[in-house]
Amino acid sequence: MTALRWLDRPGEQGVTWGVPWPRGAVERDAPFALADPEGREVPVQSWVTATWPDGSVKWSAHAIGARPAAMSYRIEAGREPAAAGTMVGTVVGTPVTVARRDGVLTVSTGVVTWTIEESGGTLARSISRGSREIARDVRLVSLRQSEPTPDDGGPVARERATGQVETVTVEQDGPVRAVVRLEGRHGDWLPFTVRLYFHAGAEQVRIMHTFVWDGDPERDFLAGLGLSADVVMRDEPHDRHVRLAGSGGFLTEAVRGLTGLRRDPGESVRRAQVEGRPVGEIAPEVATRLHLIPTWNDYTLDQGSADGFTLRKRTAEGHSWVTIPSGTRSAGYGYVGGAGGGLGFGLRDFWRLHPTRLDVRNAATDLATVTAWLWSPSAPAMDLRFYHDGMGQDTFTEQLEGLEITYEDYEPGFGDAHGVARTHELTLRAYEATPSAQDLSRHAIAMNQPGLLAVSPERMREAGVFGVWELPDRSTPAHAEIEDRLDFLFDLYVREREQRRWYGFWDYGDVMHTYDPDRHTWRYDVGGYAWDNSELSPDLWLWLQYLRTGRPDVFRFAESMTRHTGEVDVYHAGRWKGLGSRHNVQHWGCSCKQLRISNAAYRRFYYYLTADERTGDLMDELSVPEETFTVIDPQRKVREDVYTPDPSALSVGLGTDWGSLAAAWLTRWERYGDERARDRLLGTMADIGALPNGFLTGEARLDLATGRFDTSPDKISVSHLSSLFGLPEMCAELIGLGLDVPGFEQAWLQYCRLYLAPPEQQEAEVGERLSGISLIQAHSRLTAYAAARTGDAGLAAWAWRKFFLDEGDQLNSNPMQREKDWRLTLVDGPRVLSPVHEAAFVSTNGAAQYGLAAIHNLALIGAYLKES
């Protein structure tokens, strides 16, 4: 029996979540049953998302339908679930049904029915609630122009397109949850994938929209991208209601307003209209003059930045707009309809993903149109051209010189966005009547913070998933100080995201790389010091911190990072498909295209915790990750040997490269039982163990046909980056699986012992002193791992020394300076754009690696931590 709790708030329109299980505890085909705290059975749909090497369940996924949420639940393996449609308390669980006939899908939650054509220009032909049609022609719309928006705002011709669906796939068909995937293109470009999520008994359908950029940056400028639907309007204009979310509440309007008139329609009429109810009988002095009251046909809420939105309305096209008081951050949710029903529509993280817009058009006619714009047509067209002209860096020599001054790894033609993607989450909700202000507010919050069930950190730890971590430990002042610093660093990045406005369509979810204390800002405009793009694994740090604390704010931050780094920083089509881009002013700007950024190790957490299909797609793109090494040589600019990618002898680094390969192969194996991935994982592990110098060899040649390394090289080459992109986490997890691969653990322990060992010890063991040693604090977790595996107290003390002592580039300080340095400093006045609280000593490399080293060291050698 496993207890489940809500992450931060309950979900009432259907919830999907993941649960980890200890090895051998649950058989592959075991059923799962769910109950509330009173022991009442709740219909649940379950499936397996990962297995242990012995075939037992490692991760399961579960879904429940729409229902008043219990405070908690209990899930039990090995017991049959309640059938959908059974009574739970006073709630009848209605199953989801999916029917396919003559090229049309009909999906019903028991409350709403969506009619979906298997090809054409709509995502749904119709949405009905009971026997009443609420909306029709749900569709994707886009605007394109052939040149950028002029600086002076002059006119540019725009081409409008409707997304064309080419294939429809039913991924799940109930009884509690159904998922329909639609794929197509926005006109003749921008391939998209849309998933529609249906839960039993729900009036809301969740929509995940992903598009891949495949335009020419010199002539393709996206001027608008949105989701539209036509809403059937049956009521009298004064009984039609428009609601648009502001910063804390809603714009509350009627298409024909009856409040504020010179003649009073009656108090009950006014109150009813404001509350969204039919107004009933109107006082004669008003009723006879209704035709003289303007009807407001069109509304627009435009979120141009993270700091402000504007509102306007008009009576009809061809007449001027009337401004409405504006606000700061809209919740991104709206409603159009009346007493006969209506449609709620919205975009999650609306203001965070600006420029965005909500439109209502033709509300005074029989068919209103609503649009949630992912890119607002009011904003300048999206411009994805590279941000500089190359500055003469035409040769590797010049490019390496550029790297020396701005840290930017430039190469002509490589700062190309072709193949990057972005995913948005939208909601359409069919109401039987205009909802109250309180209900609308709840629904907007639920859209932006969807309910998620989760197990406790203690239960997560018991399952033994995700390698090395332990629960927070404040048992001594020394332990508490490290825990305080972990909290300080996370809270700092939450504050910095807000202070520095790390928001926007392409940017939300990422953080900056390095701070500029002279300008009191991050180096947003300096080459490779700007957007971080997963450099040195902040993703891993955040997810491990969530696992150990269970903090919902950590989860939400990590969630947004996973959405960003898995989509925007990675290529999903084109010549670099499967690879990611190193840190840059633009997310795709760096010429370093590597697997270390598209790393499956960064995505697995979110996938297993939520069963999110889109994140599963990202890892499916890495089903044969080794093939990416035929595309480009990551070391091409600094090689001293002669090398061209050869399928029979591909150069693979045993650090960042193999760690990423191992993560992809392991994930493929545990998700699908893929024997090819398993064999390549185990085979290369054995080959590393067979190399004379193991991981210290630095690089090996991979034969694509066999999936094995050449084990003959007898050399030593160490990179300070090898262990900073998930390699320690993956090695610990693989060794923890007990795979019994000869020599692998010994090779890893050798690397862990020697990286920070005294030079004399290195020379004595391998014949030479290791060069390229840096990032001392980060690597202390390697020493800690060796100490824990061997029980060497001296090695554990050495690891803590390296973690604490002020040696090299690390986020730490000498003991007498600690209190002074780990504080925020207020900077205000005319020297900064806005007042900020800065921690100028923190940059993301140091923060992420401090976090990972602290988490590992506390888990591995916490017992050896001394107060001194």
Location of structure tokens 């080794």: 626
**Non-local CB neighbours of 639 within 8 Å, separated by 6+ positions:** 633
Question: Can you tell me the distance from the alpha carbon of 331 to that of 501, in angstroms, rounded to the nearest whole number?
Answer: 17
Residue type, 784: A
pLDDT of residue 724: 97
Question: Can you tell me the distance from the alpha carbon of 25 to that of 788, in angstroms, rounded to the nearest whole number?
Answer: 26
Question: Can you tell me the distance from the alpha carbon of 124 to that of 120, in angstroms, rounded to the nearest whole number?
Answer: 10
Contact 418, 398 (CB under 8 A): no
| Maximal CA-CA distance, the chain | 102
Q: 3-state class of 446 per DSSP? A: helix
Quote the distance between the C-alpha of residue 631 and its chain's center.
27
Q: 3-state class of 286 per DSSP? A: helix
Please report how the helices 776-790 and 793-804 are oriented relative to each other, as an axis angle in degrees rounded to 10. Answer: 170
**For the chain, percent helix, then strand, then coil, each to nearest 5?**
30, 30, 45
Question: Can you tell me the distance from the alpha carbon of 527 to that of 530, in angstroms, rounded to the nearest whole number?
Answer: 6
Question: Can you tell me the distance from the alpha carbon of 461 to that of 455, in angstroms, rounded to the nearest whole number?
Answer: 10
Among 620, 671, 811, smallest CA distance to 49 is for 671
Strands 341-347 and 132-145: unpaired
Contact 838, 448 (CB under 8 A): no
Contact 800, 780 (CB under 8 A): yes
Exposure class string for 231-253: b at 16+ Cβ within 10 A, else e: bbbebbbbbbbbbbbbeeebbbb
Question: DSSP labels for 220-282?
Answer: -EEEEEEEEEEEE--S-GGGEEEEEE-SSSEEEEESS--SS-SS---HHHHHHHHHTS---SP
Question: Can you tell me the distance from the alpha carbon of 116 to that of 183, in angstroms, rounded to the nearest whole number?
Answer: 13
Contact 178, 107 (CB under 8 A): yes
Question: Can you tell me the distance from the alpha carbon of 762 to that of 129, in angstroms, rounded to the nearest whole number?
Answer: 72
How many CA atoms within 13 Å lie on the side-chain side of 740? 2
Among 507, 499, 487, smallest CA distance to 565 is for 507
Q: 3-state class of 164 per DSSP? A: strand
Question: Can you tell me the distance from the alpha carbon of 825 to that of 838, in angstroms, rounded to the nearest whole number?
Answer: 5
Q: 3-state class of 108 per DSSP? A: strand
Q: 3-state class of 458 per DSSP? A: helix
**For residue 448, which phi and psi values (nearest 5 degrees)?**
-80, -20
- pLDDT, averaged per 10 consecutive residues of the chain (868 residues), comes to 96 96 97 96 97 98 96 96 64 82 96 97 97 97 97 91 98 97 97 98 98 97 98 97 96 97 97 96 96 98 98 98 97 96 98 98 98 98 98 95 96 97 98 97 97 98 97 96 96 98 98 97 98 98 98 98 98 97 98 97 98 98 95 88 88 97 98 98 98 97 97 96 97 96 97 97 97 93 98 96 78 51 92 95 95 98 87
- Token digits of residue 92: 């009848």
Three-point CA angle 280, 282, 285, nearest 5° = 175
- Token digits of residue 163: 């997304």
Cβ neighbours of 492 (radius 10 Å): 18
Cβ neighbours of 170 (radius 10 Å): 15
Consecutive H or E run containing 338: strand 333-338
**For residue 768, which phi and psi values (nearest 5 degrees)?**
-160, 160
**For residue 262, which phi and psi values (nearest 5 degrees)?**
-70, -35
pTM: 0.97
Quote the distance between the C-alpha of residue 815 and its chain's center.
38
> Over the Cα atoms of the chain, what is R_g?
29
**For residue 331, which phi and psi values (nearest 5 degrees)?**
-75, -10
Say if residue 355 is preceded by a cis peptide, omega within 30 of 0: yes
Domains of the chain, by residue range, sit at 2-92, 97-230, 233-384+415-448, 623-773
Task: Mark out the alpha helices in 691-831 (DSSP H runs).
Answer: 727-736, 744-754, 759-766, 776-790, 793-804, 818-821
Full 3-state SS string of 730-763: HHHHHHHCCCCCCCHHHHHHHHHHHCCCCHHHHH
How many CA atoms within 13 Å lie on the side-chain side of 132? 18
Among 608, 594, 504, 617, smallest CA distance to 555 is for 608
Question: DSSP labels for 320-364?
Answer: --EEEEEES----EEEEEETTEEEEEEETTTTTT-SEEEEEE-TT
DSSP 570: B
Consecutive H or E run containing 88: strand 87-88
Instruction: Sort 706 into a burial class: Cβ within 10 Å, 0-12 / 13-18 / 19+.
Output: exposed
Instruction: Sort 528 into a burial class: Cβ within 10 Å, 0-12 / 13-18 / 19+.
Output: buried
- Token digits of residue 613: 């299909």
Location of structure tokens 């999110």: 612
- Token digits of residue 117: 């054509």
pLDDT of residue 89: 45
